[in-house]
Structure formats: structure tokens, C-alpha cells
A and B are shown apart, each in its own frame.
Chain A
């Protein structure tokens, strides 16, 4: 090796890198490290640089000159719509190489392209050397979360469609005359027609209009672009044959089943004489009969009896499914569910007030646990209680009895509307949980003074209280009192922190994830216990320490975290991690509920797609980060 020669070449690397983000902000030592280790390679136009089949990438690539296109591959159907073009200075595959897994994207040189290549091990080392580069990579991975949401959208579109248009006949679903060409037509002409008609699938039919084949968008890449297929040849040489067809009398359900069975996205609809009548795509099946938020809400508010509320409860679930189908994030979704469940609960309370006279009583109906945090998923049982004020002139026992009678009816009605009775009896009809303000204070105070394990467990449920109905002031005062007490009690906070650190994120040293060793659930992770709860518990400690009144985990993180000087970026990354885990839980519960199995929180990482697995790993890393902060702050 000749040092002056190497230096000269390294300098050319550095000159280039300094002109492109994120390298322009990279620490000088790290930049030098990078420049020394880059080699130059050439990829002619239309050649593959990196494909999933290559396995874990051996290099990190930075485009030096030319253009690279990243295309998603795999079973998920957003693929053909999402491509990304990378130009000089842009690097890939950040996620795959960080995770040491095969890339989910195929990377293709669309022009003659020169790339700088950094060996994978050096890429990881570079992240250690360069905090700015690490932040860049982490943010990039976080941005994948929105991609994952798009994938979800499609997945749920299919499910929602399956349910709602199941019985619609295909002849009703066919909306326009079929676009087709004869088998002898030149492929170029057929493709031009596809573009012109804006269809993702070209049917091929003979003079008798009987379909003989199809060509879809995804075929074009595989069979035409990549193989350099001669466009002058007839489409018959490249189409899929025979095509999948169904009669017009078949239902949308049949079409969905056919698509799922054969892994196709288009079905040709034919009439009794086998003549082509139309093309049904996966997207057509996503013909949602949308139930609007407003409709449900007014339905709830005007409900006259429990039957009407039961219908509303089913509508809420359906809406949740639809919202998932529209790709809404976990944060908004849980807020919607929470808002509607609140409305439903309020209406149940109002209906019961017609039968129970509580006039003049100062009380509030409280929600605890996930409901208290606005973080209900779809299979949460009820956690509620009552706080009331005992007037000086009144007798306690008769008043409490009246409240308990009332609570009992409400609890049963809630159960009838799909909120199972709490097995732990955390319900307002439990005399222990229908208390005056002073009694609640005494209860809370004893847990804080003597934080034994049971007290800490109670704190994690009851300190997340929120008023659903009644006198807000009562709860407000109770919270102020509570925060004043906890904020000045480091011993209690330390005990809460230790409790929050009981469970570690299931990140493996060798494998990506540590799964449950329970033989009944091999290979699964309980995303409530080992996922969401890690964030929830840490955020609660933060809130109790810094006096944050909000009960939602994300609000607690954002407000509490910023009060102790955690950077907003870091807090956002943690919130993203929490949301992603919540989203996976919701999705899992939906899918399982639909299949008749009880909705639980056990997700098998092996069943997730690559992108989700990678993000889940990142989400767990965020949990570890916030736990680390607790560890440091409380010397645990």
C-alpha cells in the first residue's frame, strides 16, 4: 500500500461525501473512517445491485453517479406502487443492513451507475463512531413505520372487503367494460393500451371474446423488463394462461377466495357462454360500506335502550376495522375507540340514571387502566369505579348502597355491550371501589407510604384514573393531591421504577427476539406484557415524578420527558415505538377475533413480514432506551 496514493483517492471520496447529507454533517473522524473503507463498483443500466435473494447484504451502498431504483418485493400488494429512486449521495439498504437481514427491496440500476460500497461490518462500526449517522439511520428506520402502515392498509382492505361485500355478486361489482386485446397483438401495443386505460391487468381474449390469458403489472417487471423481452412479439408469448375466471353469479367472497388460493390479484368475470364481461381486482373488493364516526356517535346518543347500544357497540368494532383499513395510525385509532366507548358508557349511565335517582349526589364515574389512559384495544374488560362526596348532613351507608345498586346495573349493561366483567372485580359495583374522596386518598396514600408489591400493582391500575361521567372537579382535586404526594416521594418513585423494570424488552443477544418459553405458545411474544406495558409503566413513573396530569402514555412521555430534559426527537421515537406495538396488537386482535379465536396479545415474530419485524425490533430498542433512563435516574 502506498499511503500518498491512498490518501489521494480517499480525498476524492471525502470531497464527494461532504457534498451530500448525512455525510456533510458527519464527525471528521467518522467521515475519514468511511472514506478509507469505500470501494468503487460499476453497475450497468438494468442490472441488479441487491435483491432479497442475496441474503443479508454484504455492503452498504452509496450511489456515486447514476440512478438506482428500490422496489418492494414480496407478497404484500402495495409493492407494485411503491418504488423509490435513489440518486448520488443516497445510501441503501439502511434497514436491512442494520438488522442483518435480507433486504425487502430489490435494488436495480436504472442508469449506468457507480456505487461506493462499505462492508456491512464497517457500516455498523460507523454507526458507533458517528452519533449523527446513527440518528440518521434510526430516523430512516422510523420512517419505515409509515410504510408499514400502508401495508396494513392493504391487508385490512382485503379483510374488510371480505366481510362486507361477501354476498355481492360479481356482475354487480363489475363497473366498466373489460379492457382486452387479442392474443396476436404485439406486446408493446398491449402495454400502451394498459397505460391508456389505466388498468393494472390486461385480459387477452380471442375473437369469440373468450378469455385465454392475462398480463398484470407485476408480470411486466418480471417477464418483460428484467428479461429484456422483445416488445414486438405477441402478447400470447408472455401472458399467464389459463386465466382465473369466475361466472358473474359468483360472489365477491368467491373472488376473494380464488385470489387468496392462487395468489393472484385479478379475476376475469365471464358470462354463461364464457365470454369476458369484466375484470375484478383486489382493489374492487375494497368496496367498503363505510360507517362514519358521526353516525355511530349520534346512534349512541339517541339510543333508547340497551339493544340499540349493543348495535352501536358492534358498529364501533366495525368502524375500528374500517379505520385500520384506511391506514389510520394506532394513536388516532385508539382515540376513536376510546371516544366512542366513552360515549357508549355515558349513554349507559344516563339510561340507568332514569331508573336510579342520584339527584343532588356529587359523584364521578371513573375509568382505570387502559381505558383511563385512552388506550383501549378491542378486547379490554371493564375497569371502573366511583368517587363521591359525602355531604355533612348525609348518612354514608344508604348513599353508598344507592350508588352500588346503580353501579351494578351499569356494569351488567356494559357487559351486555361487549365489555366483559372484570375478573379481578375492578368495577364500581365493588364496595372497595365506590369510595368517597377521603377514602380514595387514604387508599392511594397507603400504597405510596408502603409500596409493597401489591400496592405497586394497584398503583399501575388506579393511578391512571380518568372521569367518564359526573363531577370532573372531584377527580381533578384527587389528581392534584396525588401528584403532589408522589412528586415529593423519591422512595415510592424508585419502587415504581423498579417495578417498571421488572420486565425487559424481549430483544435477544443472538436471535432478534426472545420468545415465550411457555410450551402452550411456542415462538410467540405477549405484546402487552413484553411490549406496551414497558412504555406504559415507564411513562407513568415519569408522569408521577414530574406532575403530568395527562394519563395517556404518549402525553406522559412527551410532557414528562421534556420536563426532565429529554430531547423531543428521542421522545417522538419512543412514542412511535409504542404506537407501533399498539398497532400490531390491534391488528392481531382483529385478525384473531374474526377467525373466532379469542383476541389476545400473542404475536409470533416469525409470522410478521420483514418490515414489521424490523420495526418491532426498533420499537423494543426504544423501550430499552426509556428503561435505561429509569435505571440511571433511580440507580437501579
Chain B
């Protein structure tokens, strides 16, 4: 896929006009103000389920997403989809659910990488999203718990969060969302009041690590 694909009907991912309209709609939503407080921000925690692909990389099988709004996780504000026969619909659904909210993942290189490849492949398009990686943020917020970079299991264990069903994209997202609540509590305490502050912390952190 390249940028040309969007201008060459039929040679790209082949979105139907309805799919294209739906996708366009998701991109045209008003972007949230990232300087607002955490309480006023809707975060979307996303998690992927993958399987082996032909090459070295993993193939995206399903996505799960849980929103945090006003500091609360509510079951009504959740999303999951299997890519199955219509990967474009699943991904458009996810983007519409995200609605340009800051996206939270654990392990961005893997989750974000997998998703971006899938967006490229099935939508021929790379949506502009803000990504927060708890794997990077948590050690800076809770250095007394775990100093360096650690696996998700370690962090879930540190905060006593049940991992209800490993490999279920949605339930994993729910666990990560609880982890994000924990992160937000400490962030607030440290004067990191908005998603913008978290994004800044994250980039300086990456820079420090040379990442």
C-alpha cells in the first residue's frame, strides 16, 4: 500500500462508499482538547489479539476497547470486534468508538504497531491519533513499585488487578483500563493534570531512554 492507493479505486483496500463515508465521519469529529483535566477527558484503552502471520509479524485478529470517562469505566462505553471477513468494518468501528480520544495501550511498539499496520492494510489510511503507552508511563509514575520497564503481568500484579481472561482482547483492555485509573490517580498527585502532560512526560521519558 502507498499513498497513491487512495486515488486509485479498486487497487486499494476497496472500501465501499458506505465504509468510506463512515470512516470520513470518524476523522471529522472535533478533536478533544488535550489540555483539559483527566476528569474531563475521555480516554480509550485499546488492546489487540493477534495470531501468527506468514512473515515474522503478527496478524491482528481482534480488537477490544474500553473507555474511561469522568474517571469511570462504564460497561456501556466499550467495544470489541473480530476482524474476520470484514476487517475494514471492525477497524472503522474501532475508530468511530475511539472518536479521536487519546488512545491508551500497554506496550505501544506491539499494540500500536499491529494496529497501524492493520489500518494501513485494510483502510489504506493512517488516522492521526494520540497514543499513551502505560509501559513507558507507569515506571515514571510509580518508580517505587517497579523501577524499569516491565511486563503487563507485573504491573497488574502490583496493583492487584485480576487478569480475567488472558488473550481476550476486551477483558485485557478492561484490565489495562484499571491500570490506567491507577496511573491517573498518581499523575494527578504529581501535578500531571491533563493528557497533554502525560504525552509530554512520555516523550521525555522515551528521549531519556533513547527510545
Q: Is the CB of A9 within 8 A of B174?
A: yes
Find chain B residues with CB under 8 A from A6 CB: 75-76, 78
Find chain A residues with CB under 8 A from B150 CB: none
Contact with B along A281-320 (1 / 0, CB 8 A): 0000000000000000000000000000000000000000
Partner of B182, one of A36, A39, A112: A112
Partner of A10, one of B71, B75, B160, B181: B75
B171 within 8 A of A: yes
- Report Cα–Cα, A440/B181, bound state, in Å: 77
Q: Closest CB of chain A to B189's CB: distance in Å?
A: 8
Q: Which residue of B lies closest to A65 (CB)?
A: B160
Q: Is the CB of A1 within 8 A of B171?
A: no
B80 within 8 A of A: yes
Find chain A residues with CB under 8 A from B181 CB: 40-42, 114
B73 within 8 A of A: yes
Find chain B residues with CB under 8 A from A12 CB: 164, 171, 174
Contact A5 to B71, CB < 8 A, known contacts A40-B181, A44-B185: no
Q: Is the CB of A2 within 8 A of B97?
A: yes
- Report Cα–Cα, A384/B159, bound state, in Å: 72
Restricting to A11-57, which residues have a CB under 8 Å from any CB of B? 12-13, 35-36, 38-44, 47
- Report Cα–Cα, A9/B66, bound state, in Å: 9
Partner of B72, one of A2, A35, A40, A112: A40
Contact with A along B72-113 (1 / 0, CB 8 A): 111111111100000000000100010000000000000000
A376 within 8 A of B: no
Q: How large is the interface on A (under 10, 10 to 19, 20 to 34, 35 or more residues)?
A: 20 to 34
Q: Is the CB of A1 within 8 A of B76?
A: yes
Q: Is the CB of A36 within 8 A of B185?
A: no
Find chain A residues with CB under 8 A from B74 CB: 39-40
Q: Is the CB of A39 within 8 A of B72?
A: yes
A354 within 8 A of B: no
Q: Closest CB of chain B to A111's CB: distance in Å?
A: 9
B64 within 8 A of A: yes
Q: Is the CB of A5 within 8 A of B73?
A: no
- Report Cα–Cα, A304/B73, bound state, in Å: 78
Partner of A39, one of B64, B73, B161: B73
Find chain A residues with CB under 8 A from B184 CB: 42
Contact A43 to B185, CB < 8 A, known contacts A2-B79, A5-B78, A112-B160: yes
Q: Closest CB of chain B to A68's CB: distance in Å?
A: 15
How many residue pairs at the A-B interface have CB separations less than 8 Å?
76
For A5, A8, A112, which residue has the most chain B Cβ atoms within 10 angstroms? A5
Find chain B residues with CB under 8 A from A38 CB: 75
B46 within 8 A of A: no
- Report Cα–Cα, A65/B179, bound state, in Å: 13
Find chain A residues with CB under 8 A from B182 CB: 42, 44, 112
- Report Cα–Cα, A9/B73, bound state, in Å: 10
B170 within 8 A of A: yes
Find chain B residues with CB under 8 A from A2 CB: 78-81, 93, 97
Q: Closest CB of chain A to B22's CB: distance in Å?
A: 15
Q: Closest CB of chain A to B161's CB: distance in Å?
A: 8
- Report Cα–Cα, A261/B84, bound state, in Å: 76
- Report Cα–Cα, A10/B184, bound state, in Å: 23
Q: Which residue of A lies closest to B179 (CB)?
A: A42
Q: Closest CB of chain B to A285's CB: distance in Å?
A: 43
- Report Cα–Cα, A66/B161, bound state, in Å: 10
A524 within 8 A of B: no
- Report Cα–Cα, A12/B93, bound state, in Å: 23
A4 within 8 A of B: yes
Contact with A along B176-203 (1 / 0, CB 8 A): 0110011011100100000000000000
Q: Is the CB of A40 within 8 A of B78?
A: no
Q: Is the CB of B75 within 8 A of A13?
A: yes
Find chain B residues with CB under 8 A from A9 CB: 66, 73, 75, 78, 170, 174
A515 within 8 A of B: no
Q: Which residue of A lies closest to B159 (CB)?
A: A112
- Report Cα–Cα, A44/B182, bound state, in Å: 7
Partner of B178, one of A10, A47, A114: A114
Find chain A residues with CB under 8 A from B168 CB: 8
Q: Which residue of A lies closest to B168 (CB)?
A: A8
Q: Closest CB of chain A to B191's CB: distance in Å?
A: 15
Q: Closest CB of chain B to A325's CB: distance in Å?
A: 46
- Report Cα–Cα, A12/B164, bound state, in Å: 8
Q: Which residue of B lies closest to A38 (CB)?
A: B75
Partner of A36, one of B75, B164, B171: B75
- Report Cα–Cα, A8/B77, bound state, in Å: 12
Contact A42 to B78, CB < 8 A, known contacts A12-B171, A112-B160: no
Find chain A residues with CB under 8 A from B186 CB: 44
- Report Cα–Cα, A6/B93, bound state, in Å: 15
- Report Cα–Cα, A6/B65, bound state, in Å: 11
Find chain B residues with CB under 8 A from A114 CB: 161, 178, 181
Q: Which residue of B lies closest to A43 (CB)?
A: B185
Contact with A along B13-55 (1 / 0, CB 8 A): 0000000000000000000000000000000000000000000
Q: Closest CB of chain A to B158's CB: distance in Å?
A: 9
Q: Closest CB of chain B to A162's CB: distance in Å?
A: 47
- Report Cα–Cα, A44/B76, bound state, in Å: 25
Find chain A residues with CB under 8 A from B64 CB: 5
Q: Is the CB of A41 within 8 A of B71?
A: yes
Q: Closest CB of chain B to A9's CB: distance in Å?
A: 4
Q: Which residue of A lies closest to B66 (CB)?
A: A9
Q: Closest CB of chain B to A371's CB: distance in Å?
A: 59
Contact with B along A354-390 (1 / 0, CB 8 A): 0000000000000000000000000000000000000
Find chain B residues with CB under 8 A from A622 CB: none
Q: Which residue of B lies closest to A113 (CB)?
A: B160
- Report Cα–Cα, A12/B170, bound state, in Å: 11
A117 within 8 A of B: yes
- Report Cα–Cα, A602/B97, bound state, in Å: 60
- Report Cα–Cα, A42/B65, bound state, in Å: 19
Q: Is the CB of A117 within 8 A of B178?
A: no
- Report Cα–Cα, A4/B97, bound state, in Å: 14
Q: Closest CB of chain B to A59's CB: distance in Å?
A: 9
A residues neighboring B (CB under 8 Å): 1-2, 4-6, 8-10, 12-13, 35-36, 38-44, 47, 65-66, 112, 114, 117
Q: List 28 A-B contacts (CB under 8 A).
A: A2-B79, A2-B81, A2-B93, A5-B65, A5-B79, A8-B168, A9-B66, A9-B75, A9-B174, A10-B75, A12-B171, A12-B174, A36-B75, A36-B76, A40-B72, A40-B73, A40-B74, A40-B178, A40-B181, A42-B71, A43-B185, A44-B186, A65-B160, A112-B159, A112-B182, A114-B161, A114-B178, A117-B72
In the A-B complex, the 7 residue pairs with the closest CB atoms: A42-B181, A9-B75, A39-B72, A5-B78, A40-B73, A39-B74, A5-B80
Extra inter-chain contacts (13) besides given A2-B79, A40-B73, CB under 8 Å: A8-B170, A12-B171, A13-B75, A35-B75, A36-B76, A39-B72, A39-B74, A41-B72, A42-B71, A42-B185, A44-B182, A112-B160, A114-B161
